[in-house]
Structure 1
Amino acid sequence: MPSTAIQLLPLRIDQAEIFHRWLQDPEVILYSLNVFQQMDSLAKVAQWLEATLADPRCLNLGVYLADTQELIGHAGITGISTVNQAGEYFILLGEKQYWGQGIATEVTRQVVAQGFAELGLNRIMLTVSEPNQGGVKAYQRAGFQLEGRLRQACFRNGSFHDKLVMSLLRDEWSASLIGE
């Protein structure tokens, strides 16, 4: 459990300025979505956020500090397939002072729990840039297992790096709860 208490609550369109500030920091978006690499204006960020919040195949949650309700990140599940009972996990912790405190692991656990218990998913997968060792460790602590490698799938800072494919199945998640 992180030392800083967090809550997962809905995002609002009026939070586009906060996202815009985060996306201007190359360190924050280094391993994030390709689309974030090109959002250079508040208008583009607001347009993206509005479309994201309207997507019925996406669970979008804000990561808030429990005591102040400050938005420090965004997490959820995208590409939700009701037929396949599957989706893809994502997280962006935009406030760097909260990195390395176990928040990403806790957020991941909470979103996964919603995906399995509330959305009825059977499989949640993700991709993570191999150099993002903090992310890889957080996902492993939350129960994700390595499935494979997408070789040289990402180009950042003038060079290619691999993306790791990880997943967690409902049965594995349920078994981990019994073991707690």
Structure 2
Amino acid sequence: MIEATQCRLRPLETTDVEVFYHWLQDRDVTRYSVTQFTKPQSKGALIQWLASINEQRNAVSLGIECKHSNRLIGYAGLVGISDINHSAEYFILIGDKQYWGRGIATEVTRMVTQYGFSSLNLHRVELTAFTTNPAAQRAYEKAGFQHEGVLRQSGYRDGAYHDKVMMAALANEWNNDQ
């Protein structure tokens, strides 16, 4: 378990299915999330996904718990972990909307990135964010990620193509005290 000021990170469990199912019914929550969450899923499919998530090779997925309530409020992690390139892609979903805008995404981004650098020997952690999601971009900037460019019309949401920004943090530039 990894802890910080507001939250802790823990392995996901199949018992988390009800919370995930609730989040996935809310289009505000899933609007910018990974493709698998843009379409409704059954509880059975979610249970299968949760049962296999901790066994994924080249990925780390962790539940985000609020320290004062001990509630699961989201999940985050690294995918596409490359032993050759020492790199990975970061992701986060804060499913409980009452925790939006509280700095949790910044805190979790720092925690997972630090874990990638110190425990997984990564050199680069990258991410993409929709240009229509400025709150996410601000959270990543505060966490220490740098803008690298724009991926034109690389995401399809709400009936239109949207640009995404590419951002990254490098181990040799990383300052976890930001």
TM-score, structure 1 length as denominator? 0.91
Alignment of 1:143-154 (within 5 A): 143-154=144-155
The farther-off stretch of 107-116 and 36-45 is: 36-45
Distance 2:50 2:39 in 1: 14
Are the counterparts in 1 of residues 12 and 53 from structure 2 also a CA contact under 8 Å?
no
Secondary structure of the residue aligned to 2:57 is coil
Which runs of structure 2 are paired with 1:14-163 in the superposition (5 Å)? Answer: 14-163=15-164
- Tell me the CA shift for residue 47 of structure 1: 2.2
Q: CA deviation at 1:58?
A: 1.0
1:103 maps to a residue whose letter is I
Paired position in structure 2 for 1:6? 7
State the identity as a percent: 44
Native 8 Å contact 1:145 1:168 kept in 2: yes
Count of aligned residue pairs for this structure pair: 174
Q: CA deviation at 1:56?
A: 2.3
Aligned residue for 1:54, secondary structure, equals coil
CA distances 1:77-111 after superposition (whole Å, capped 9, x unpaired): 11111111110000000000000010100000011
Q: How far off is 1:66 after superposition? A: 1.1
Counterpart CA distance in 2 for 1:98 and 1:159 is 28
User: Which stretch shows the higher mean deviation, 95-104 or 12-21?
Assistant: 12-21
Distance, in Å, in 2 between the alignment partners of 1:16 and 1:85 is 32
Unmatched tracts of structure 2, length 5 or more: none
Aligned amino acid, residue 163 of structure 1: K
TM-score when scaled to structure 2? 0.92
Q: 2:117 corresponds to which letter in structure 1?
A: F
Runs of 4+ in structure 1 off by over 4 angstroms are none
Q: Name the residue aligned to 1:164.
A: 165
Give the superposition deviation at 1:8.
Answer: 1.1
**What RMSD in Å do the two structures reach over aligned CA positions?**
1.5
Alpha-carbon distance, 1:155 to partner: 1.4
The answer (yes or no) to whether the contact 1:39–1:45 under 8 Å persists in 2 is no
More helix by share: 1
